[in-house]
Structures are given as structure tokens and as C-alpha cells.
Chains A and B, each alone.
Chain A
Amino acid sequence: MRTADTDKELVEQALEGRVEAFNLLVWRWQRQLYNFLVRLTGNRSLAEDICQEAFLRSYLSLKELRERERFASWLFRIAVNLYRSDRRRPSPLAAAAELNDAGDSAGEAHPMSREMLLTIRTLISRLKPELREVVLLRFFHGFHFEEMAGILDCPVGTLKSRLYKAVDELRAGLESQK
């Protein structure tokens, strides 16, 4: 099993019972998924729980994955559904507080001012969940609109309008901070 195996090949190997193939998929996508959930929830422990649950569920229902080359989209979809159904979702204010704590360590190693960094994170956390999901998937994780449509179970046109609306709100928020 080479590390350069594609997601599709690893999924097929995992379906044959090779757990190490699936763990390689975990290794490949855990950082992205974890960071997506941290940015989405604003809570690291919640993000860890959802991340672990998403990997477990994806493993148990791996047979249901039709397009095996789209494992990442399918994994993110599971995570989004878990997030939406989780009643422990923190309020935007709580998420902002968590982000401010995180900003203490992040601002030191980054050229952006700590103030600007916290401002942007706060603005992201105050977006409506459906707008925040689109912003994170598009800007931070580089998903195409078709992939996002599968992850968020939403038409492409709706996603684009949400993205533009989110960018307008972020821009307006930044303008108001000046």
C-alpha cells in the first residue's frame, strides 16, 4: 500500500477489510476536517468529538459511498450533518470567546495584527451557519461549487448567492471596524 494511493484506491482497500487503508485516509483528511469543524463550531472539544464521530460513521457506512473518488466530500457531508444535528452547538458569542482565547497564541506568530485577526474571526463566527459553512468550504478548503452542493445538500445557485452575501457582510463588518 503506497502512500500515493488515491482516495478511491484506499476506500476500496478499506472495504476489503484493510483498516490501515482507512487510517491512511484519516491521516490524509483529519487536519482539514478538524480545522473546518473548529472554524465552524468555534469549540475545539466539540470539533474533536464531531471529527471522531464523522470518521467512525464514514468507516461504518463506507459501502454506501457510490463515488469512491469523492470520499472527502462525503466525509465533510457527514461532519456537517453531525454538526447540524448536535445540540451542543455553541452560540456565536460563545464561539467568539473561544476564538479570542485561541487568538492569543495565533497572533504572535502571524504578521497580521492580533486585533485584525480577532476581528475577522469574530465576523466569521457571527455569520449565519449556512453562510459560515459556505465561506469555510470555499475559501479555507477550496471545494468547488459542485462539491459544496453535495456536502451541504444545496443547489449551486443558492450556494453562490450565499457566498456573495457572506462576503458582502464580512466586507461591511471590516469597513465598520475602520
Chain B
Amino acid sequence: MNCPDFKNLIAERVAEELTAEQKAEMDAHEKSCSSCRHAVEEWQKMQSLLLASWPAEEPCRPFFLLNPTRPGSWLETARTWFGTASMATVVGCLLLLAILRPSVSYDHSQLSINFGPARGEAGVMSAQAVTQTQVQAWVRQALEQATAVGPAETPPTSGTSSIPSNTVQARQVTQLGVQVQMLKENQSALWRQVEQHGLYLQSAWRGPSDQIQLQRQRSSDRP
């Protein structure tokens, strides 16, 4: 062992942290080198001086923890609340999306977001089909009921000739028209189809209206 290597291990030598092999080498070198032996003595003297200059003192007060929360529990609680709130927010958003089912369409430089069952062309097509089928069924039903009911069941109204019983059915057809109109307002992508439905309804409306007129004429022709 040379002097630089020896001086590099003086701190461990003084603190007795050397391996057996290192200690043996240093002891051998120290016996033959007065400079290194002096360096060890100086280091030991410095250590003694430092320890003596600043004796330990008792703290003014103890630092015990009084009724602390469980280690990490506050963090876990915060994490749990944050995680729960995040999850609730995500689930709430997903539920809103599922309920409202917005459809985004871009038509003639206008972006529109609508809420309804329609989504995409496929959704529009299916909505068209449902709407058209439903409207046809309603109108057909209304017509069948209007032709099936006789004049005796029609409630009389003041100032007008007796209206046949198909007034109720006519009212239903009117409601259908209102519903169609609502569909027309809510779904811009079905505008044309809704208009067509409206025309269809108008032609269907004429049927009962014509029959009502016919009934009125018949009743007026009676003596």
C-alpha cells in the first residue's frame, strides 16, 4: 500500500470500518511511514476536538406524535376520494352520453350537435325507417278507425252539423302530425324525409276530412 491509498482510507481507519485485509495493509504501512502515521494521529485529534466542542444536549421538548392518523391513511383517503370522484364523473358523463346520445353533423359549413337516437348515416337511416314506418302505421290505423265508425257515434257540436265519430280519430291524426313536426324540428338530417311524411299525412288527412264532409252532406240531405 502506498501513501495516497493509505490517506484515502484514513477516515475508515479512525472509525474502524476497514476489512481485515485493509486493516492489515494499513497497519503494515503505518509502521514504516511516519507521515501516514502522523496523518492518522491528526485525524484522531480533530475528531476528539470536534466531539468535545459540541456535546449533545437534550431537546427542550419531546417530539412524540399524539393521536396521529394511521401511516399513509390520509393519503389513502385522499386518493380514495379523488379516485371515487373521478370515477363518478366519468360514469356520469358516460351515462349522459348514453341518454342524450348526441349526434354531430356537419352540413353546409354548419356544425350541429343534436341530441336524439340518430347518430351517423346508419343511425339516420334507421331513424328514417322507424319514423316512416311508425307514421304510416299511425295513419293507417287512423284511417281504418275513421272508416269503420258510423255517424251515430259522432258527438254533436254547437253551430255545426254533427261530426261523425271519426273526429276522435281525426284528432289522433292531428296529433300525429304534431309529432311528426317535432321530429322535423329535432332532427335536421331528416328534414326532407319529415317533409315527405308531412305530405303523406296531409294526403291521409284528406281522407278523413273528405269522409267528414261526405257525412255532413248526407246528414244535411236528410229530411
Task: Let me know if B50 and A140 touch, CB within 8 A.
Answer: yes
Indicate whether A66 reaches chain B with its CB closer than 8 angstroms.
no
- For B12, the chain A residues whose CB sits under 8 A away are 145
Q: Known contacts A52-B63, A59-B65, A142-B15: does B46 contact A124 (CB below 8 Å)?
A: no
Q: List 11 A–B pairs whose Cβ atoms lie within 8 Å, in order of A's numbering.
A: A22-B71, A23-B64, A26-B62, A30-B63, A39-B54, A55-B63, A59-B68, A59-B71, A139-B47, A140-B51, A145-B12
Expressed in whole angstroms, the Cα–Cα distance for A27 and B59 within the complex equals: 11
Cβ-based interface call for B31 (8 A) = no
Q: Are B62 and A170 in contact (CB under 8 A)?
A: no
Q: Which residue of A lies closest to B76 (CB)?
A: A63
User: Does B61 touch A at the CB level, under 8 Å?
Assistant: yes
Complex contact B72–A60 (CB within 8 A): yes
Counting CB contacts under 8 A, is A34 at the interface?
A: yes
User: Which residues of A have CB within 8 Å of B75?
Assistant: 60
A112 touches B52 (CB 8 A): yes
A116–B45 Cα distance when bound, in Å, is 14
Q: In chain A, what residue has the closest Cβ to B69?
A: A60
Q: Which residues of B contact A111 (CB under 8 A)?
A: 52
Is A56's beta carbon under 8 Å from chain B?
Answer: yes
Q: What 10 pairs between A and B have smallest CB-CB spacing?
A: A120-B53, A62-B71, A34-B59, A63-B72, A35-B56, A23-B64, A139-B50, A30-B63, A55-B63, A117-B53
Contact of B49 with A by CB under 8 A: yes
Task: List the interface of chain A (C-beta within 8 A of B).
Answer: 14-15, 17, 19, 22-23, 26-27, 30-32, 34-35, 38-39, 44, 48, 51-52, 55-56, 59-63, 106, 110-112, 116-117, 120-121, 124, 135, 138-140, 142, 144-145, 160, 163-164, 167, 170-171, 174
**Bound-state Cα–Cα, A164 to B58, Å:** 30
The docked-state distance in angstroms from the alpha carbon of A48 to that of B58 is: 11
Q: A120-B49, A120-B50 are in contact. Are A26 and B65 (CB under 8 A)?
A: yes
Inter-chain contact A48/B54, CB cutoff 8 Å: no
**Is the beta-carbon distance between A26 and B11 smaller than 8 angstroms?**
no
Complex Cα spacing A164 to B13, Å:
13
When A35-B57, A140-B54 are in contact, do A60 and B71 touch as well, CB less than 8 Å? yes
B41 at the interface (CB under 8 A from A): no
Tell whether B74 is near chain A: CB-to-CB under 8 Å. yes
Task: Give complex CA distance A31, B60 in Å.
Answer: 10
By a CB distance below 8 angstroms, the chain B residues around A121 are: 53-54
Min CB–CB distance B109 → chain A (angstroms): 56
How far, in angstroms, from A132 to B50 measured CA to CA in the complex? 12
Bound form: Cα–Cα A31–B63 in Å: 10
Q: Is the CB of B46 within 8 A of A167?
A: yes
**Which of A55, A117, A164 is within 8 Å of B65, CB to CB?**
A55
Contact between A27 and B64 (Cβ–Cβ < 8 Å)? yes
Docked Cα-Cα span, A163 to B72, in Å, equals 37
Which residue of A has the minimal Cβ distance to B52? A112
Given known A-B contacts A23-B64, A160-B8, A48 and B59 have beta carbons under 8 A apart: yes
Q: Which residues of A are found within 8 Å of B61, using beta-carbon distances?
A: 48
Are B52 and A110 touching (Cβ within 8 A)? Answer: yes
The answer to whether A138 touches B11 (Cβ under 8 A) is: yes
Contacts A61-B72, A62-B72 given: A51-B63 contact, CB under 8 Å? yes
| Given A63-B72, A142-B15: A22 and B53 interface contact (C-beta under 8 Å) | no
The reply on B27 being an interface residue by CB < 8 A is no
How far is B43's CA from A163's CA once the two chains are assembled, in angstroms? 11
Chain A residues with CB under 8 A of B47:
139
**Cβ distance B5 to chain A, nearest Cβ, rounded Å:** 13
Docked-complex contact B43 and A167, CB < 8 angstroms: yes
Is there contact, CB below 8 Å, between A23 and B65?
A: yes
* Docked-complex contact A110 and B72, CB < 8 angstroms: no
